[in-house]
Structure 1
Amino acid sequence: MMGIRTVFARIGQHIQKRPLVALITAIVLIGIAISGAAQIQSVTGDRAFVGQNPTLNTYDDNFDRGTIAMLVRGEVTEPATMRAIDRYDRRMSEVDDVEQVVSPADQVRAEYGQIPGSEKKIERVIGNSHSEVVTVVLEPGLTQQQSRPVYTDAVDAKEWVAFPSGIAVTVTGSAAFSSQLSALIQQSTQQLLGLAVGLMIVALFFLFRGVRLRLLPIVAVFVGVIWTFGAIGYAGIPNSTLTSSVFPILIGLGIDYSIQFHERYEEELEDHRPREALPLALGGVGPPVLIAMLSAALGFGATWVSTVGSPAFVWFAQTSIFGVILTFIASLLVLLPGLTLWARFRDSSPDETPTAGGPNSTPQQEESEIGRLGKLLGRTTRLLAANPLIVLSIATVVMAGGFAVSSDLGTLADSEEFIPQDLPAYLDLQEFRSVAGGGDNVQYSILVSGEQLRNPEVLRWMERYRTIASDKPQITGVSTPATLIKQYNGGTLPQTERGVEQTLTEIPEDQKAQYYSDGYAQIQVTAEQGMNTDEELGLFDTVETAITLSQPPSGVDVHLTGQSPESTPSIVDQIENRNSTTGLGFLFVFGALLLYYRNLLRAVAPLVPMAFVIGWQNIYMLALAIPVSPLGASLGALSVGIGAEYTIIVMERYFEEVEQDGVSRLDAVETAGSRVGKAITVSGLTTVFGFSALTLSPFPILADFGSLTVGVIFLTLVAALATLPPTLIILGRLSDAIETARENKLLSTRMGITEADD
C-alpha cells in the first residue's frame, strides 16, 4: 500500500514540475479521440440485443429481407397519383441492394401495359382505395448500416417523383425505423450530455463553494468523455439505446474523482506550500480514489460477464469501463495541472506557508476551514458510530423489507417499450405492419435445413406441422413451402420429387425465394399482435412444442429464429438473473479490495453499506413504481462498484486518523466524517444532478434508469455516512477481540512451555 502512495506522490511531483506537459498531452489525446469518435456506428432495435448466433445469421443471409414502405394516402386511384407511384417504383428498382419493389402500379401495368388516364380503369384493378403501400424489398443479409443508404434514396425518390397536392406520403418500414431511431439516439446522447454538464455546473457552483476554480472538474470530466467517445470508436463499440445512457453516468462518476482530488489538494494547501501540497494530496487520496475507480470498473465488468450473449449490455459495460478509467486519467492530466498553474501564477506568495490553517491555527479557523456542513457531518457520524448496534439493526430490518418486496416489482422487457411510444417513426412502422403485415398479426420464422428439403416426405411433414401449429392458441396461420407448392399443384402435394421440381418451375422466382434459398427453407408462423412478453415467450414454447409433436424426418433440422425469438429471451434472462449479476459485482469488488488491502476486515467493511443499499433500493423502486428493466437489473452490480468509492474514501480517512497516536475510534470517525464526508456529500449530490439528466431522456428505459440511479446514489451516500462508521466500530471491536484472543493463546502457550521446562 505504501508503494502505491509513493507512486501517486511521485506523479504529483511530476505534475507539479511540468503542468504544461500534462495539459499538452491531454490536448493531443483530444485530437486523437475526435478521429476515433467519427468511426462510431449505431445499432438499434432487437438487433442490439442479439449476439452471434449461427442459426440467426443463416436466416438473415437467406430470408431476412428488410423493407422500406411508402404509405400513400388520398386519392390513390387518380391517374396522376398512380403515375407518381409508378415513377417511384421504377426509380427504386434501380437502387443498389433492392431486390424488388411491389406496388399497385405493378398490377395496373400488368392489366393495361401502362398507367391509363382513366380513374375508373384503375379502380377496376385496385378497387376504390384511399391508401396504398409501396414496398421496397431489400436484399437479404444486409446490416443496419448497409440498409440506411437505401432509406435515404427512398426519401429522395419520394421528393423527386412529386406527388400531387393533397396526397400524404410517408416513408417507413424496418430500415426507415432503424435510420430514424439511430438519429434519435445520437440526438438524445448529445442532449443528455449537454444537460448533464449544465446540471453539474449548477451543482458545482452552489455546492462546491470555498475552493478555487470550482468549475474546473467539469472541464476535466468533459475531456474524459471526449476520450471515451474516441476509445469506443477505435474499439468498434456501437452506440445504442443503452450506450447513450453511459455519458451522463460518466460525468457523475468523473466528477467524483475530480472533486476528491480537488478537495484534498485544497486541504493540503492549508498547511503546506503549493509545491508540497500536490504530492501530499495525491499520495493521500490517490490510492483510495484509484481503488474506487477500479471497483466501479469491476461493477461494470460484472455486467459484462453476466450478459455476454446480449451485445447491448456488453457495449454498455465496455463503454462504462473505458469511461471510468479515462475520466480518472483526465482528472490527473487536466484538473491537477490546472490547479497547479493557478497556484503558481495567481497566488501572491506561492512559496510561503499559508496562514489559513496550520499548526498554530485557532479552533475558529479550523471550524471555518471544515465548514458548517463538515462539522455537522462529523458530529452526526460520531453519534451514529457511538450506537452501532441500534443503527445497524435498523438498517438490516429495512434491508430485509426491501428484499421481501422485490417480487412485487414490475418489469420492462419488451424492447419496443424501450423507445418513445409517440415516436413518429414508430407510429408509422406500426401502421405499416397493420397494412402490409396482415392486419393485427405478426410473423415469426422457422429455419429448416437439410439435404432433401424438396422431398415429398419433408413436404408432408411441413403440412403435418402446419396442421398441428394452426390449432394452437395465439397462432393465426402457418405458411410453408408445402403451402406454396399445393397452390400451384391443384391443392395437393406431388407424390414424387420429380413432380415437386416440375411444380417449382412454374412458381415465380420472387415467391419461391420466400421459402427456399441455398439448401434452406423457411416456415412462416403468423400470430396475434400486441402480445406482452410472457405471452410471446409462451408462443415461442408453443411453436417449439409443435415442432416436436410433428416429428421432423431424420436429417432435417428445425429452429425457431429471428430477431424477436432471440432477443426477447435474452432480455428476460438479464432481468431474472439480476441477483446473480449483483452477486458477481460483490465478488469482483471484494476480490479487488482483498488483493489491495490484504486484510479481510478492510475488504469487507466498504461492502456492508452496499448490501444495505441493494435492499433499500427495492423499496424506493416500489414507492415510485419504477419497473425492473434489463438496464436497471445491472444496477445492483453497478451500485456496488460506484458506491464503493464513497465507502472506501471514508474508510481510508478513518484508518489514516485512527493510526495516529492518541486518536480514538470515535475521534477518527468524526474527523473522517467532517473532512471527507463533506467532499463525498458534495460529489454525491453533484453526481445526483448529473444522473438526473437521464430522467429527462425520451427513451422510457433510460428515464426509468435515471430515476433509479438518482435514488440509489443518494441511498449510497446515506449508507456510506450512516452505516459505515458503525460498521467500522463493530469490526474494530471484533479485530480487538481476535487480537486479544491471539495474544492470550500465545501467552498461554509460552506459560505452558515455561512450566514444562521447570
Structure 2
Amino acid sequence: MSLTSLFEKMGKFADQNRKLVFIGFVVLILVAVYGAMGITMYSGMDTYIQKDSKLYQDLDKYNSMFSEESVIVMVEGANVYDPAVLKATERFENQMKNVSGVDSVGSPATIIKATNEQVTGRSEIPSTIDEVKALVALNPTVYEGLIYDNTHSLIAIKYSADLSELQKEDITTAARDAANFSVFPPGYNLIITGDAALSADMNTEMGGSMVILLLLAILLMIVALGLVFKGVRWRLYPLVVVIMGLIYTFGAMGLLKINMTMVTIAAFPILIGLGIDYAIQFHNRMEEELARCATRKEALISTFKYTGPAVLTALFVTCVSFVSLLTSSVPMIQDFGKLLILGCTACYIAALFFGTVSLYYLDKFAEKVHAKEKETGKKSPLSRFLPTLKKTDLEACGTNELNAENNIITSTLNKVIDFTLRHKKTIFLVAIVTGVLGFYADSTIPAETDFKTYMPQDMPALVDFYHMGTVMGGTDTINIMIQTADISSPHVLKWMDEFGTYQTANQDYVYGAASLAEIVKEYNGGVIPDTNEEIRAIYEQIPESTMEQYSHGNSLLLLNLDVGSAMSDLPMEGVKTLVAIVEEDLTWYQIPPGTTATITGSTVPYTELLDSLLSGRVQQTMLGIVLVFVALLLIYRDVYKALGPVVTIALVIGWSGMIMYAFNIVYTPMTAVMGCMILGAGSEYSILLMERYYEEKSHGLQATEAMRTAVTNTGIALVVSGTTTIFGFLALTASAFGIISSFGLVTVINMLMTLLASFVVFPPLMLTFDSFKEKGLKQMLSDFKNSIYSIIKPNKKTEMI
C-alpha cells in the first residue's frame, strides 16, 4: 500500500470518527498535564558531562570526597579579626549547623577557637583583635581560603551533592535568614553565593524565562499570522493547534524524565516555529480544497491524502536531522534533540488530526450560522468570527483570496521565480563560492565554555559571585587526586611538595600548590619528616576539617594547583593546553611506586566541553547531512530528489558560518547545534516545494510551469510558515540567557537565508537535476562544464563548444 493510499484511508477514518478524534485529544491533554507535573529545572554539572564517562566518574569521586557542594558566605567589613565579628560568625555557624541537609560549617571562628584551646586551654574567641591575630599567626596556612585580608573572610556551608534541588534552595534560604539573625556589627555585609545560590537563581530564571519566551513567541506569531496569512479564514487558528502540540510535548517531557535546562527551555519557542509550519500547511490545503467547491468530506480526505504524506516526509527528515544531536557527548544537547523530535512529532499529529477535523467543524458551524441568518434575516454576532468561503457559482470555484493574482506574496514569488530561472548559472556560482567560504570561516570561530557567561549577567547570585572574585582574586584550581597505600608516607608527601614547587616555578599560570605536604611543613619547621610515625603525630594536631579538605581515609590525598583566574583570562584552548602540560608532567615526574595521580576538578570538564563544541559539532552536522540524504534516498529512491534539498541546506549551513564570523558570535552548546537546526528546520521548505512540483508534473504540466505553480501555490504557505517560524525564533533574542539570545539571532538570520535559498537556489537546482536525470551522467557533466565556463568567459562559449 502506498503512503498516499494509507493517508487517504486515515482521512476517511478521521471523517467517520470525528467525535472520537476530539475525545482522544481531550484525554491526551489530561495525560499531558499529569506528565508535565514531573518536569524539573536542572543546572548541574551532569548537564555537561555524561554520567557513564570516566571523566564524570573521576569528578564524582573528587566531589564526594573533597568537594562537597557549598553555600559560600563572604563577610565584608572594617576588620574581620574583630572579636564581635567572629562571635557573630559563630552565631551564624551554630544556626546553620542545625539546618537539615547541612553536613558541616567552616569559618575562621571555629579554627580560632580550636587554636585558642590548644594554646590556653579555653575553647573561646579571644577578647581583643591582637589576640586573634596572634592565634592566626601560629598556623597561617590553615586560614588560607577563609581569611583573605583585614576586611574579608569566608564561611563555607557544606552539604551533600545528593540533596534535591529544593533542599539545596532551602539551605540557601536558611543562610539568608541566619545572616539577619546573627547580629553582625553595623557596617558589615554578608554576601551569599556559591553553587547552591547560583543554581537556585538559575532555576528561578529558567522558569521565568521559559514563560516569557513562550508568551513572546505566541505574541510574535499572532503578529506574523496577522500580517502574512491574509485571505484565509481563522488565520490565527494554526497557533491554537501548535499550542496543543506543545501541551503534549510538556507531558512527554515529564513522563520521560527529560530535565529542563538552560538549553532545553529554548526548544519550546523553536517548536512553536517548527510546529506552526505543519498547522499552516494543513490549514492552507483544507481552505484550498474547500475553495475548489469540494465538500467538507472531500476536502478533509484530500488534505490527508496529499498534504499528509508530504508534511510527514518533511517531519521525518527534520527528526532524522535532529537524531544527530543524540550523538553529542553533552547531555543537555542530547535532551535538546529528544525534545525537538518529540515536539515536532506531537505538533504534526495535532495538526493532522485535531487541526483538520476542527476546521471541518468550524466550516460546518459557519455555514449553519449564515444559513440561519438568511432564514431569519437577522445578523448573528458570531458571523464576523465565522466567515464562509464565497462560492456563488462554478466560475468562483478554484479561487481563493490567498492564491489570488493580486496577492502581494504571489506577485513577489512570480517575480522571484522568473529572476532565478533567467540567472540560474550565476546563482549557482555565487551560492557555491559563498557556501565554501562560509565553511572555511566557520572553522576559525572559537568556543565559549565558561558556563557563567551563559547566565543572565544581572542575576543576583552571579553579581555576588563576581564581586567575591574581584575581592579575593581567581579561585580556579587544577585538582590532582593521589591514590596511595598510606597517606602518611614521607615519600608521597615529598613528591607532592616537589611536584607542586616544580609546577609553580615552571608554569606561568600556576601560582601555588596546596596539600597536606604544605601543612605538615608548617607544623614541622618547614620540612617534611622522614618517618610515617612523625607525620601521623603531626596529623593529630591538624584540625579535622583541614584534614578532610586534603585527604580521605588512609589512601587518598589531594593536591590543588592554584591557577588563579585562568578560566576567564585564557581562551579555552589555553586552559586545555595548561591541563595537558600538567598531565604530561605527571607522566615523567616519577611518582613513588604503588601511587597513582589523576587530574580532575571543575576545570577539566570544560576542556572536554571545548572538544565537544569544536569537533563534535562538525561531526553532528556531517552526520545530519548524511542521515537526511539517506532518509530522502530511501523515501524517494531517486538520488536527484535526495540531493535537491540536501545541497540547498548544505549551502545555508555554509552561509551560517559567514554570519557567525561577521557578527563575532562564538560557539556555545546552543550555537554548536546550528547545523542540525538548519537541516531540521530548513529542509522542510525544499521538500514541500519538491513534493508540490512533482504533484503538478503528474497532472501534465511541463517542468518549468510545474515549478512555477509549486512556488506560487505551496510557496505562499511556505512564506507564511517561514515568516511565522522566524517570528517565533525572534523571541529567543529577548532571552536574558546569553547562550539563548545569541542562538536566536543566528537562527533568525539563518531562517531568512533558508527561505531565500528555497526560492532562489532550489527551483533552478531541481529543474537542473531533472534535466540531468533525463540526459544522463555524461551529458550532465558536459553541460555543467559548459555552464561554468560560460559564466567565467561568456565570450568564449562558442569556441569551447
The structure 2 residue matched to 1:315, chosen from 329, 332, 335, is 335
Secondary structure of 2:562's aligned partner: strand
Cα distance, 1:107–1:706 mapped onto 2, change above 3 Å: same
Q: 2:308, 2:352 within 8 Å by CA — same for their partners in 1?
A: no
Structure 2 residue 704 is the aligned partner of structure 1 residue 666: yes
For 2:457, the equivalent position in structure 1 comes to 421
Cα distance, 1:345–1:163 mapped onto 2, change above 3 Å: farther
Q: 1:478, 1:523 within 8 Å by CA — same for their partners in 2?
A: yes
Counterparts of 1:278 and 1:740 in 2: how far apart (Å)? 46
Counterparts of 2:96 and 2:573 in 1: how far apart (Å)? 40
Q: 2:473, 2:564 within 8 Å by CA — same for their partners in 1?
A: no
Letter in 2 for 1:149: D
Letter in 2 for 1:709: T
The structure 2 residue matched to 1:63, chosen from 52, 66, 75, is 66
Counterparts of 2:668 and 2:451 in 1: how far apart (Å)? 10
Counterparts of 1:172 and 1:684 in 2: how far apart (Å)? 44
The structure 2 residue matched to 1:85, chosen from 89, 92, 102, is 89
For 1:14, the equivalent position in structure 2 comes to 13
Counterparts of 1:422 and 1:724 in 2: how far apart (Å)? 45
Structure 2 residue 110 is the aligned partner of structure 1 residue 106: yes
Structure 1 residue 552: Cα displacement: 1.9
Q: 1:105, 1:115 within 8 Å by CA — same for their partners in 2?
A: yes
Structure 1 unaligned regions, length at least 5: 743-758
**1:653-709 per-position Cα deviation (integer Å, ceiling 9, x unaligned):** 000001222x11111011001101010001001111000111111111111100000
Structure 2 residue 683 is the aligned partner of structure 1 residue 680: no
Q: 1:12, 1:278 within 8 Å by CA — same for their partners in 2?
A: yes
Letter in 2 for 1:100: S
For 2:381, the equivalent position in structure 1 comes to none
Q: 2:330, 2:612 within 8 Å by CA — same for their partners in 1?
A: no
| Stretch moving more, 685-694 or 65-74 | 65-74
Counterparts of 1:366 and 1:55 in 2: how far apart (Å)? 61
The structure 2 residue matched to 1:136, chosen from 157, 160, 166, is 157
Counterparts of 1:143 and 1:448 in 2: how far apart (Å)? 30
Q: 1:80, 1:164 within 8 Å by CA — same for their partners in 2?
A: yes
How high is the TM-score relative to the length of structure 2?
A: 0.85
Structure 2 unaligned regions, length at least 5: 117-121, 137-146, 372-387, 781-801
The structure 1 residue matched to 2:574, chosen from 531, 535, 539, is 535
Secondary structure of 1:473's aligned partner: coil
The structure 2 residue matched to 1:462, chosen from 492, 496, 518, is 496
* 1:333-348 equivalences in 2 (<5 Å): 333-348=353-368
Counterparts of 2:711 and 2:393 in 1: how far apart (Å)? 19
Cα distance, 1:10–1:363 mapped onto 2, change above 3 Å: closer
Structure 2 residue 612 is the aligned partner of structure 1 residue 590: no
Letter in 1 for 2:500: R
Q: 1:254, 1:328 within 8 Å by CA — same for their partners in 2?
A: yes
The structure 2 residue matched to 1:219, chosen from 237, 240, 244, is 240
Structure 1 residue 573: Cα displacement: 3.0
* 1:589-668 equivalences in 2 (<5 Å): 589-661=628-700, 663-668=701-706
Q: 1:8, 1:286 within 8 Å by CA — same for their partners in 2?
A: yes
Counterparts of 2:66 and 2:152 in 1: how far apart (Å)? 28
Structure 1 residue 72: Cα displacement: 3.4
Cα distance, 1:192–1:411 mapped onto 2, change above 3 Å: same
Counterparts of 2:410 and 2:104 in 1: how far apart (Å)? 71
Q: 1:647, 1:720 within 8 Å by CA — same for their partners in 2?
A: yes
Secondary structure of 1:100's aligned partner: strand
| Stretch moving more, 450-459 or 726-735 | 450-459
Secondary structure of 1:158's aligned partner: helix
Q: 2:242, 2:350 within 8 Å by CA — same for their partners in 1?
A: yes
Structure 1 residue 710: Cα displacement: 0.3
Counterparts of 1:695 and 1:432 in 2: how far apart (Å)? 30
Counterparts of 1:562 and 1:151 in 2: how far apart (Å)? 23
Counterparts of 1:277 and 1:248 in 2: how far apart (Å)? 31
Secondary structure of 2:667's aligned partner: coil
* 1:134-533 equivalences in 2 (<5 Å): 134-139=155-160, 147-161=168-182, 167-271=188-292, 272-305=294-327, 307=328, 309-348=329-368, 355=391, 361=397, 368=404, 371-433=407-469, 439-471=473-505, 472-518=507-553, 519-529=555-565, 530-532=568-570, 533=572
Counterparts of 2:181 and 2:620 in 1: how far apart (Å)? 53
Cα distance, 1:8–1:156 mapped onto 2, change above 3 Å: farther
Secondary structure of 1:540's aligned partner: helix
Counterparts of 2:516 and 2:28 in 1: how far apart (Å)? 57
Structure 1 residue 33: Cα displacement: 2.0
Q: 1:36, 1:231 within 8 Å by CA — same for their partners in 2?
A: yes
Secondary structure of 1:514's aligned partner: helix
Cα distance, 1:370–1:446 mapped onto 2, change above 3 Å: farther
For 1:707, the equivalent position in structure 2 comes to 745
Structure 1 residue 285: Cα displacement: 1.0
Structure 1 residue 503: Cα displacement: 3.2
Q: 1:86, 1:105 within 8 Å by CA — same for their partners in 2?
A: yes
Aligned length: 735
Secondary structure of 1:513's aligned partner: helix
Q: 2:291, 2:397 within 8 Å by CA — same for their partners in 1?
A: no
Counterparts of 1:120 and 1:508 in 2: how far apart (Å)? 22
Structure 1 residue 407: Cα displacement: 4.1
Counterparts of 2:779 and 2:3 in 1: how far apart (Å)? 32
Cα distance, 1:289–1:356 mapped onto 2, change above 3 Å: farther
Secondary structure of 1:347's aligned partner: helix
Counterparts of 1:187 and 1:290 in 2: how far apart (Å)? 34
| Stretch moving more, 13-22 or 710-719 | 13-22
The structure 2 residue matched to 1:725, chosen from 745, 750, 763, is 763
Same amino acid, percent of matched pairs: 30
Counterparts of 1:197 and 1:524 in 2: how far apart (Å)? 50
Cα distance, 1:740–1:458 mapped onto 2, change above 3 Å: closer
Structure 1 residue 240: Cα displacement: 1.3
For 1:754, the equivalent position in structure 2 comes to none
Secondary structure of 1:197's aligned partner: helix
Structure 1 residue 433: Cα displacement: 4.3
Secondary structure of 2:244's aligned partner: helix
Secondary structure of 1:135's aligned partner: strand
Cα distance, 1:568–1:142 mapped onto 2, change above 3 Å: farther
Aligned Cα RMSD in Å? 3.0
